[in-house]
Every structure is written in C-alpha cells, then in structure tokens.
Amino acid sequence: MSEFSDIRGDRALEELNKIKMKNLHFRQRSNEGLQSPANFDLSGLNTPVDEFSSGNTQSLDITDFRSFTQQINNEDCYSRIENVMRLKSMYSEAINGIFSGDPKNIIIVTKPRNHSLVYFTADITKYLLSSTSPDSKVYVDKRLANSKRFSASDILHDLELHEDRIGYWTPFICLVKPTKFDMVITIGDNTTVLYTSWLFQKHCPPVLTFSDSDIPGFLTHFPVTEYKEHIHHMLSSSVSLRFSSRLECSYHKYDSETKQYSHISTSYVLNEVQVSRGEHPYISNLNLYNNSELMTIVQADGLIVSTPTGSTNMSMNAGGSLVHPNLNAILITPICPHCLSFRPVILPDYSVINIEVPLDSRATAFFSVDGHSKTEITPGDYLSIVTSQYPFTTIQNPHKQWTKVLEDKLRWNVRERQKPFSRKQSTVFSKDMHDDKFDITENSYNRESTENL
C-alpha cells in the first residue's frame, strides 16, 4: 500500500513540475516583445502524460523554481497592471470625451454587393464635400472608381470642385498610413464595422457607423436614411465618444524537432476569438491558462474569448453573459462543454489568456478572429490573448442607449404579458350546472353519490 502511494505521489510531482515548466515559458514569453520569437529550451514542455520523462524534473530545485517563477510572475503582473491602468484612464476620458473639430481626410467604408448603399455613398460624399472646409478630402473604396452608381465625375461637376477632392483607399493604405485619416464613416451592418476594425488594426480614428436598416444594431448606431441630420450634428457640435477595448491575439507555432516556439501572426480583435474543432468529429481538447496558471482542460466543441463589445455576438449564442461595452473585462465562454461544471467566466482585462492544443490531442483545432481568417493550429501550438493597447473608437448616438438596442434587437419582453386571475364567472359555465353531474364544481362528487342512491 505504501509503495502504491509513493508511485502516485511521484506521478503527481511530475505532473506538477510539468505544469510549472509550462507556466515558466508562458511568463517569459509574455514579458518579451511581439517582434522577437520565443527561443527557449523547452525539452519536456507539451509532452503527453504517458511520455513524460522524469529526467526533465530530477535536476529541478523546486524551492528555487518557486521563488524564480514568483518573481517573474510579479514583474509580469506589474507591467500588465500598469498598461491596463493607462488604458482605463483613457477609457474613462473617452466615455466623457468629445469629438469636435473639422476633419480633413474622411474615409467611407461601404458594405459590398449592395447597390442601394452605393447611392447612399454618393449622397454622403456629396454632402460632406459641400459641408466641410475647402481643403478637406473624402476617400471611398477604390472599387467604386469606375462605378456608374457612384459617379465621382458627376459629384465633382455638380459641386464645381477639383478632382483631387475625392480619393480612393485600399487596405494597404489603411495599413501603412492609418493616421492619415481623421474620421471613418461606415455604411452597412455589423460586419462592415468589423471589417473597419480589421483595416485599422492599431491606430483607429473615430468611426461614425450607419446602419443599412432603420433599426441600429449593436455596432451600427445611426440609420443611414438620416445621414444629413447626424453628420450636420457631428460637424456643428461636440459628440460623445466610446473607446471599445480590443483583444490582441498572437499565434505561436511549436516545432517538435527543436522544441521551440515561433511567433507567426498577431491580430487585433473587436468581437471575439473562437477556437473550435472545425471539421473533425472529435471534441476539442484544449489547455486553458489564466496568467500562466492552468485554469482548466477544455473538452468541448470549442471556446470563445470575447470582449464586452462582442458579448452580444457568438458569446451570447453560446450562453455567455451580456456585458456593457464600457466595462473592461475578458469573457471566456465554452461551446457545448462536455463537462457541465464548466461555465462562462468573466476575467479582469489585465489577464493573460493562453489556449494550447496539447500534443496528445486526437486532432487539430481551428481559430478565427471576428468571424474571418480561419486558421488551423496543430498539437503543440498555442494562442496568447491579452487586452490590446489600441482600442476601437466610435461616435455615440445619445438617443440610442445600449439597453434600448438590446430591447429592439433581442425583442425583450415581446411575449404577451400574463393575464391576472379573474373572479368573474366564465361564460362556459353559464348554463345550469345541476343538469350535468360531471361538472367540476364544489360538492359535485356528493351530488353524484346522492343520485346513484
């Protein structure tokens, strides 16, 4: 019995040391810059339980290891908290902040494959050129340069303006020169706003979002049919801003030969990061870390890491909580978890989330950001998700609060209200109840028993 207990104790110690070695790597990686890849001697890291070598832990002094990792963890937390405090001060200023001034370079992002919105783009361009200063310029999608529906030549001819007052943007221009533009106008639905967030992944100017329908959405705050009123109000008076937090998702590839990681890509996410099993028939097997500590082993169809802005999208569909966009938090929601004890979690915005596909996983996984760029991650790879220092700035509609949008889009309390009990006698029982011995009335059984006698 004692030998069996010693064996179980050794295995538990090996498991503990394995997790500590993994945490050490995550802490060291979180302190590094995103430009440099992580090159560590990671022998034994990500090794399946049945293949773990005890030689990797025999030379490890547990006491020294604990003090060393605690020091690294404290340094990492301090730097993370400092960054988050700066972000929170910027958020608080943005919530009460204003946007006033004369924008010089305005970019219009139009939802594609919608001909009616092209006509609105032409009308808004014409209105901006006639309402702003003579040195202002409006940029539209380069694909509209030869569009007959947009007709840039007719707009310039009607306003008697020079042809350089209308420019054309491409994703490359937005990527290289994001500070060139003073304001962004989106025309479309929520996907158009997400596309704008992808165009300006770091520095993003204030965004005026127009909805393609009369009912504004969670990300589109103004109806496009009333564009003159809202643009005039924006240009003539101060408007309130909202800085919505975004996530910074870094993808790290694991090399089984060198036992090292390499940084592949970094994406800035407005809504959510979704990790799913994709086309595989097996459930996802993921290791979830919070601040380099193993939080849980996820066995589910997938996992969603969301911002408060994205809480009304995929996270809500998976059973997550609705969180106001002004709050600073990170939401973790499982997709059809195989264990009923795993429930949605809301963490502070300074948390460092790591999602790893273990080497003993049956299949690979797939991750996507804001519903696009689906990428396969193989066993050994992991994602590092933190709050980005580049928020997404939008111009708010003072007449459309977030709770009102919830009521309109989710149709809260649309169900007919329950009627109260009425003491009035129903018309169904208006006939003489004494003629029917099966009426369910008081003393009906006594009446029936009397008649049978």
The CATH number of the domain holding residue 274 is 2.60.200.30
How confident is the model at residue 379, as a pLDDT?
92
Within 8 A by CB and 6+ apart from 95, the residues are: 240, 241, 242, 243, 326
pLDDT over 50 (residue 262): yes
Burial of residue 425, with CB atoms counted within 10 A of its CB: 0-12 exposed, 13-18 middle, 19 or more buried: exposed
**Vertex 75: Cα angle to 72 and 79 (nearest 5):** 140
Domain membership of residue 313 (yes or no) is yes
Parallel/antiparallel/unpaired status of strands 137-141 and 166-169: parallel
Q: Are residues 76 and 150 in the same domain?
A: no
The CATH number of the domain holding residue 198 is 3.40.50.10330
Quote the CA–CA distance of 368 and 30 in Å, as a whole number: 21
Based on the structure, what is the number of domains in the chain?
2
Which DSSP category does 434 fall into? G
**Vertex 345: Cα angle to 344 and 351 (nearest 5):** 145
Please compute the mean of the pLDDT values over residues 406-411 and round it to a whole number: 80
Alpha carbon 202 to its chain centroid, in Å, reads 16
Question: Pick from 332, 353, 387: which residue ends a domain?
Answer: 387
pLDDT over 80 (residue 370): yes
pLDDT over 70 (residue 166): yes
Q: Are residues 356 and 290 in the same domain?
A: yes
Q: Are residues 66 and 135 in the same domain?
A: no
Quote the CA–CA distance of 122 and 35 in Å, as a whole number: 41
End-to-end CA distance of the chain: 79
How confident is the model at residue 249, as a pLDDT?
93
Question: Pick from 237, 266, 289: which residue ends a domain?
Answer: 237
How confident is the model at residue 26, as a pLDDT?
53
How confident is the model at residue 286, as a pLDDT?
92
How confident is the model at residue 89, as a pLDDT?
56
Domain membership of residue 400 (yes or no) is no
Amino acid (one-letter) located at 12:
A
pLDDT over 80 (residue 122): yes
How confident is the model at residue 141, as a pLDDT?
93
The C-alpha torsion from 334 through 338 and 340 to 342, rounded to 10°, is -40
How confident is the model at residue 418, as a pLDDT?
78
More confident residue, 58 or 242: 242
Domain that holds residue 130: 101-237
Quote the CA–CA distance of 92 and 273 in Å, as a whole number: 25
**Mean pLDDT over each residue of the chain, to the nearest integer:** 77
Q: Are residues 374 and 348 in the same domain?
A: yes
How confident is the model at residue 411, as a pLDDT?
79
Q: Which long-range contacts (CB under 8 A, 24 or more apart) does 144-152 make?
A: 144/110, 144/118, 144/168, 147/118, 149/115, 149/118, 149/119, 149/122, 150/118, 150/121, 150/122, 150/125, 151/122, 152/125
Confidence label for 165 from pLDDT (cuts 50, 70 and 90)? very high
Q: Are residues 327 and 300 in the same domain?
A: yes
How confident is the model at residue 45, as a pLDDT?
32
Amino acid (one-letter) located at 175:
L
Tell which residue, 291, 296, 293, has the closest CA to residue 31: 291
Domain membership of residue 178 (yes or no) is yes
> Three-state SS for 51?
helix
Element counts in the chain: helices (H) and strands (E):
11, 20
Domain membership of residue 403 (yes or no) is no
Please compute the mean of the pLDDT values over residues 228-233 and round it to a whole number: 90
How confident is the model at residue 452, as a pLDDT?
52
Domain membership of residue 337 (yes or no) is yes
Share of the chain above pLDDT 90, in %: 33
Q: Are residues 317 and 342 in the same domain?
A: yes
Total count of residues recorded for the chain: 453
Please compute the mean of the pLDDT values over residues 336-360 and round it to a whole number: 90
How confident is the model at residue 49, as a pLDDT?
32
How confident is the model at residue 68, as a pLDDT?
37
Q: Are residues 139 and 232 in the same domain?
A: yes
Domain membership of residue 348 (yes or no) is yes
Q: Which two tokens stand for residue 172?
A: 């490359």
Please compute the mean of the pLDDT values over residues 108-120 and round it to a whole number: 91
Q: Are residues 105 and 224 in the same domain?
A: yes
Domain membership of residue 59 (yes or no) is yes
Please compute the mean of the pLDDT values over residues 177-203 and round it to a whole number: 91
Please compute the mean of the pLDDT values over residues 129-154 and round it to a whole number: 91
Tell which residue, 47, 27, 46, 49, has the closest CA to residue 38: 27
pLDDT over 70 (residue 243): yes
Question: Pick from 338, 357, 387: which residue ends a domain?
Answer: 387
Q: Give the global pTM.
A: 0.72
| Cβ neighbour number for residue 319 with a 10 Å cutoff | 14
How confident is the model at residue 437, as a pLDDT?
46
Confidence label for 238 from pLDDT (cuts 50, 70 and 90)? confident
Residue-wise pLDDT tens digits, 289-347: 998 888 999 999 999 999 999 999 999 999 899 999 888 899 999 999 988 888 999 99
> Three-state SS for 105?
strand
Burial of residue 394, with CB atoms counted within 10 A of its CB: 0-12 exposed, 13-18 middle, 19 or more buried: buried
Tell which residue, 335, 388, 423, 394, has the closest CA to residue 95: 394
Question: What is the b/e burial string over 131-147, where b = at least 16 CB atoms within 10 angstroms of the residue's CB?
Answer: ebeeebbbbbbeebeee
| Cβ neighbour number for residue 102 with a 10 Å cutoff | 10
Q: Are residues 369 and 266 in the same domain?
A: yes
pLDDT over 70 (residue 240): yes
How confident is the model at residue 342, as a pLDDT?
87
Q: Are residues 202 and 265 in the same domain?
A: no
pLDDT over 90 (residue 150): yes
Please compute the mean of the pLDDT values over residues 180-192 and round it to a whole number: 92
Q: Are residues 149 and 230 in the same domain?
A: yes
Q: Which two tokens stand for residue 415?
A: 């169900």
pLDDT over 70 (residue 204): yes
Please compute the mean of the pLDDT values over residues 32-59 and round it to a whole number: 33
Q: Are residues 75 and 11 in the same domain?
A: yes
Domain membership of residue 171 (yes or no) is yes
How confident is the model at residue 52, as a pLDDT?
29
